[in-house]
Amino acid sequence: MARIVLKFGGTSVANVERIRHAARHVKREVDAGNQVSVVVSAMSGKTNELVGWVNESSPLHDAREYDAVVASGEQVTAGLMAIVLSEMGIPSRSFSGWQVPIKTDDAHGAARITDIDPTELNKRMEDGWVPVITGFQGIAPSGRITTLGRGGSDTSAVAVAAAVKADRCDIYTDVDGVYTTDPRITPKARRLSKISFEEMLEMASLGAKVLMIRSVELAMAQKVRLLVRSTFDDPDAPQVAPDGTPGVPGTLVCDEDEIMEKQIVSGVTLARGEAKITLRDVKDKPGVAAAVFGALADESIVVDMIVQNVSDDGSLTDITFTVPDSEYDKAVRAIEGARANVEFGKISSSKGGAKISVVGVGMRSHAGVAASMFKALADKGINIQLITTSEIKTSVLIDDEYAELAVRALHTYYGLDKEDA
């Protein structure tokens, strides 16, 4: 017997028929003698609709009311899932975040889970019930509902799995695992049978939105084994593990030591909507970067790539950095506001860039990955605007027009293409 948390994303609960199908996955696990908790997202498209209504009501709304509205989507699916499971003969009860309770900080709209009391969930499971928990939300110290940021149900599921000490957390979604790149970009994308937490964390941070970044961080810290698998599988089919042994199909996100064959490059990611901002003729003296990036940090703007040149004569230089397009206006305002502390000339900027990254733990021990990446892009005539690297990834900023071409070219170049494609 194992204890498993099953998380169903938006497509898995898009309507009552899909909820019934998802419930059959739950039933299979219960029938196998496992203790199961379920975490659900809102029906696909629902959260977007709710966010739209909030913005339509007032673009400058109170974040507490945003949370009150957008958290409602998951409440619907949790209740429906509990009804459907009960109808199948599986005793089930829905729980909103505040009923568990899932405690969070008070950062409305982007809250972090601080604590989950597992008592009620454990008791239910031990008594043969299946608790169905609303993903994406919790309760602030003030007693108000909070939400965790878009895609947050993944994080709820991992946090619940850690709290109830589950053996595994299964993420049911509309793809049958984690791919070498977004399968919507190239049909040659290949499913990985295993990926390390670290690589998954980089991939999620770099644009592979199959798992929310925070959920991978949490899984890595709490050592929760994650299995990403398809909701569309036949729930009654024999379960076959990624390595062909009896078990379950999908991609296992696990510790690096569990992966025998380490790839140099495991995946290629694409993040669109990157704004590039350059400050010209900045005084080249200590404290300048601290003043520029301090002004951005004060506005809670997350800066991604940063490049600063050395000036020829030690007097003036340029600083370039990127922020998400959505933060562009705020960033420019913050920089203009910092003029009192930093002297610079004009600001030149552009929105809508694309960041392409290659990720792999093998990069630690292999030289030349960055060089080969630049060559592969040069062969396609793609110009690189900015470059950043870390231990297990290399990223470049390019014109959005070439984004998909670049992903496909790199995917082929690093031998990731599916053999039969």
- Contacts to ligand ADP by CB under 6 A: 9-11, 41, 151, 173-175, 178-179, 181-184, 208-210, 267
Complete DSSP assignment for 265-303: --EEEEEEEEEEEEEEEEE-STTHHHHHHHHHHHTTPPP
Of 132 and 292, CB closest to ligand ADP: 132
CB-based closest residue to ligand ADP: 9
Q: What are the residues whose beta carbons fall under 8 Å from the beta carbon of 204, sequence distance 6 or more?
A: 210, 211, 212, 213, 215, 216
User: For the CA atoms of 385, 389, 392, 398, what is the dihedral angle to 10 degrees?
Assistant: -10
Of 153 and 357, CB closest to Mg ion: 153
Of 154 and 327, CB closest to ligand ADP: 154
With vertex at residue 45, the alpha carbon angle to CA 151 and CA 251, rounded to the nearest 5 degrees, is 45
Of 153 and 181, CB closest to ligand ASP: 153
Q: From the list ligand ADP, ligand ASP, Mg ion, none, pick the one residue 225 interacts with, judged by a Cβ distance below 5 to 8 Å according to partner type.
A: none
- CA–chain centroid gap for 133, Å, is 20
Q: From the list ligand ASP, ligand ADP, Mg ion, none, pick the one residue 47 interacts with, judged by a Cβ distance below 5 to 8 Å according to partner type.
A: ligand ASP
Of 40 and 201, CB closest to ligand ASP: 40
Q: From the list ligand ADP, ligand ASP, Mg ion, none, pick the one residue 11 interacts with, judged by a Cβ distance below 5 to 8 Å according to partner type.
A: ligand ADP
Q: From the list ligand ADP, Mg ion, ligand ASP, none, pick the one residue 360 interacts with, judged by a Cβ distance below 5 to 8 Å according to partner type.
A: none
Shortest spacing between CB 374 and ligand ADP, in angstroms: 22
Shortest spacing between CB 358 and Mg ion, in angstroms: 23
Shortest spacing between CB 354 and Mg ion, in angstroms: 21
Shortest spacing between CB 211 and Mg ion, in angstroms: 7
Shortest spacing between CB 81 and ligand ASP, in angstroms: 14
Q: 352 in helix, strand or coil?
A: strand
Does 135 participate in binding Mg ion (rule CB under 5 A)? no
Of 175 and 288, CB closest to ligand ADP: 175
Residue owning tokens 């110290």: 141
Rounded alpha-carbon distances, angstroms, from residue 317 to 73, 109, 287, 322, 385: 50, 38, 14, 17, 17
Among 131, 135, 138, 151, binds Mg ion (CB under 5 A): 151
Of 136 and 328, CB closest to ligand ASP: 136
The answer to whether the CB of 3 falls within 8 A of the CB of 98 is: no
- The rounded distance, in Å, linking the Cα atoms of 271 and 358 is 12
- The rounded distance, in Å, linking the Cα atoms of 20 and 9 is 14
Q: 218 in helix, strand or coil?
A: helix
Q: From the list ligand ASP, ligand ADP, Mg ion, none, pick the one residue 178 interacts with, judged by a Cβ distance below 5 to 8 Å according to partner type.
A: ligand ADP
Tokens standing for residue 67: 């949370």
Q: From the list Mg ion, ligand ADP, ligand ASP, none, pick the one residue 35 interacts with, judged by a Cβ distance below 5 to 8 Å according to partner type.
A: none
CB-based closest residue to Mg ion: 151
Shortest spacing between CB 172 and ligand ADP, in angstroms: 7
Q: From the list Mg ion, ligand ADP, ligand ASP, none, pick the one residue 182 interacts with, judged by a Cβ distance below 5 to 8 Å according to partner type.
A: ligand ADP
Contact residues toward ligand ASP (CB under 6 A) are 9-10, 41-42, 47, 73, 135-136, 150-154
The answer to whether the CB of 51 falls within 8 A of the CB of 70 is: yes
Residues pairing with 139 in the sheet: 103, 145
Shortest spacing between CB 359 and ligand ADP, in angstroms: 10
Q: From the list Mg ion, ligand ADP, ligand ASP, none, pick the one residue 129 interacts with, judged by a Cβ distance below 5 to 8 Å according to partner type.
A: none
- The rounded distance, in Å, linking the Cα atoms of 142 and 145 is 9
Shortest spacing between CB 210 and ligand ADP, in angstroms: 4
Q: Which helix (H) or strand (E) holds 64?
A: helix 63-70
Shortest spacing between CB 7 and Mg ion, in angstroms: 9
- What does R_g of the chain's alpha carbons equal in angstroms? 23
Of the listed pieces 6-14, 96-104, 242-250, 271-279, which binds Mg ion according to CB under 5 A?
6-14
Residues pairing with 226 in the sheet: 169, 253
Q: 227 in helix, strand or coil?
A: strand
The answer to whether the CB of 40 falls within 8 A of the CB of 74 is: yes
- The rounded distance, in Å, linking the Cα atoms of 40 and 114 is 20
Q: Which residues bind Mg ion (CB under 5 A)?
A: 9, 151
